[in-house]
Amino acid sequence: MEDALLTWFDSNGRDLPWRRTNDPYSVLVSEVMLQQTQVERVRPRYVAWIERWPTVQALADAPLADVIKAWRGLGYDRRAVNLHRAATHIAAHGWPDDLTDLPGVGRYTADAVARFAHQAAVLPIDVNVSRIQERTGFKFTHRSAAALMDLGATICLARVPRCGECPLTGTCPARGRRFEPARKQSPFEGSFRQRRSRTLQEVSESARQLEQLDEEAVRALERDGLVAIVDGIVRLPS
């Protein structure tokens, strides 16, 4: 089964810019961006980010306000703060043995950096990998990491998989099945997430008096390190 998957990947794998490097910093940036954002949205933003801050030191030296502004539009802006904090730590102390010691880095992201930057024999388990292993009943090795991600993103979809196009269909016990939809995230329109986003955008444009803003949203952004409040003025952190 694994050989069939790898043969498929040789011809059908996605050409993604972060797959053209084994630099751990570049891989870390891509994985943090991809945590909750679709690939096509990440692709141009990743390229622009690496052009602007090509090394850990460059990002660590950048003002946090610039990093937050550069992240806008990718969603879940706290990831920008965590990535900047991680770069600052690495620039000062080097890469930790366990990457989960870095802000915002969980087990999957740590394993992905190990696999794609250092060619470690570890299989990062994301939702796509987990779905395919569960459906096939097969435990793939680290060799199939990128192939599994692509198969899950393009063929073995969460709800209506394209079994007729799948290289594993001949041996997959779940072929032809349809699946219940996963729990959907609540709508963005009218949500507190939208209020946070709107408030951060206002502060990104210029410092504002607290009384002019949505205070509940401001306080949430402050807790996440995305804004600072000094003498009643809300601004991006320096």
- E strand or H helix that includes residue 229: strand 228-230
229: left (phi over 0), alpha (psi -120 to 50) or beta: beta
Q: Are 30 and 18 in contact (CB under 8 A)?
A: yes
Q: Are 199 and 208 in contact (CB under 8 A)?
A: no
Cα angle at 107 between 103 and 111, to 5 degrees?
Answer: 110
205 has catalytic annotation: no
Distance between CA atoms of residues 210 and 233, nearest Å: 6
> What phi, psi does 150 have (nearest 5°)?
-70, -40
209: left (phi over 0), alpha (psi -120 to 50) or beta: beta
- Helix, strand, coil % over all residues of the chain, rounded to 5: 60, 5, 40
Kindly give the residue spans of alpha helices, DSSP state H, lying in 13-144. 24-34, 39-52, 56-61, 64-71, 78-93, 107-118, 127-136
Residue of 2, 31, 134, 222 marked active site: 31
The residues carrying an active-site annotation are 31
